[in-house]
Structure 1
């Protein structure tokens, strides 16, 4: 009898260890040659395309995103032709202000810090990381980490990338501390544009 109880406990412990070790996130490298980047997603992303109006023109925006529990990991890409490069800084500013103004209007906070990203050639380049705390009725509802990266192709076209993770049902933990976890840091550190 003692032996069967011991075997049952051993089996339960082994099962618990296997469950604890099995990853919730299924990390995979996603290559997007048309959008000129490689990213590490925690699951298979869906891909959407839409046209976004800007002044008197439209740009194609491609979005690859995956939802894991209460997190949405996404990479948004806009290609700006070389002939319209004069619009680049205004377009990036518009993309940024849409999110940052929304966070501030909700009563939330925006923290901006220096960061780095690596290119497909392994070069480390500076960028800014934005940590957003979005509130509703004075309570934190969503946390977001986002960065915008601009790369110029050999033909002069500009590629604008918005790399972000949105977390819903947020706790009271600070946004920067929350996104310092490995599951989020991997996504940002392993995004590589050409």
Structure 2
């Protein structure tokens, strides 16, 4: 089951960014509850390349999801956030090109119901507003293009663990993905803070309950 979710979200990102796999993600996160150990993606996932095959893998992964939502709190100290995920997470890292600049994107993913829940963190070369904006635009347009939708977003406030909030973007996109034109709904929040830009997303093949969406997004806090 874990390999299914790894293939599913990695496939989605493949169709968004199409970079080569970079390296396995570092450690540095911990969980509370029953998931109290790091989980890494299996080596065979290094071979998951190719846009069409990736979308098909996403379809297969979502179709095989378990309906159980076993929420646990994940604290990612490397990238400075805490979030509730509905299953034991996996972590991965890949290279992306944003405006011609190579960057790293770290990912944590978990699968439940008919959806993949994920937090992607782009590590920026600097914390300038222009660099942050370029990364936000890259993620926003990539998510929309993946399902053939307009990159519409509205403002939202993202909470800080220490109190206060920072401005971010929220999106809900519906459309068809892949050569088979299969229905997908994407719920996402994007936010920049310092030298990190975060993509907090749910990719679903069927509608999911709003309480699950709210649980995920309301739990995401930045250090």
TM-score of the pair, normalised by structure 1: 0.70
Counterpart of 2:92 (choices 48, 54, 58) is: 48
Name the Cα RMSD after superposition: 2.6
Matched, 1:124 2:165: yes
CA contact (8 A) 2:118 2:200 kept: yes
Matched, 1:115 2:156: yes
The number of residue pairs the alignment matches comes to 156
Q: Could you tell me how far apart the structure 2 residues matched to 1:89 and 1:109 are?
A: 18
Shift, 1:118, TM fit = 0.6
Match in the other structure for 2:78: 34
CA contact (8 A) 1:110 1:133 kept: no
Counterpart of 1:71 (choices 110, 115, 120) is: 115
CA contact (8 A) 1:71 1:166 kept: yes
Q: Aligned with 2:69: secondary structure?
A: coil
Q: Could you tell me how far apart the structure 2 residues matched to 1:160 and 1:35 are?
A: 10
Q: Aligned with 2:132: secondary structure?
A: helix
Q: Aligned with 2:163: secondary structure?
A: coil
CA contact (8 A) 2:143 2:151 kept: no
Q: Aligned with 1:25: secondary structure?
A: coil
Shift, 1:111, TM fit = 5.5
Question: Aligned pair in 2 of structure 1 residues 57, 46: CA closer, same or farther (>3 Å)?
Answer: same
Match in the other structure for 1:5: none
Question: Aligned pair in 2 of structure 1 residues 87, 100: CA closer, same or farther (>3 Å)?
Answer: same
Deviates more, 1:45-54 or 1:94-103: 94-103
Match in the other structure for 1:151: 193
Question: Aligned pair in 2 of structure 1 residues 80, 184: CA closer, same or farther (>3 Å)?
Answer: same
Q: Could you tell me how far apart the structure 2 residues matched to 1:57 and 1:126 are?
A: 25
Task: Give unmatched runs, 5+ long, in structure 1.
Answer: 1-22, 153-157, 172-177
Match in the other structure for 2:213: 184
Deviations 1:114-154 (A, max 9, x none): 322211112133322100001269x87111110111012xx
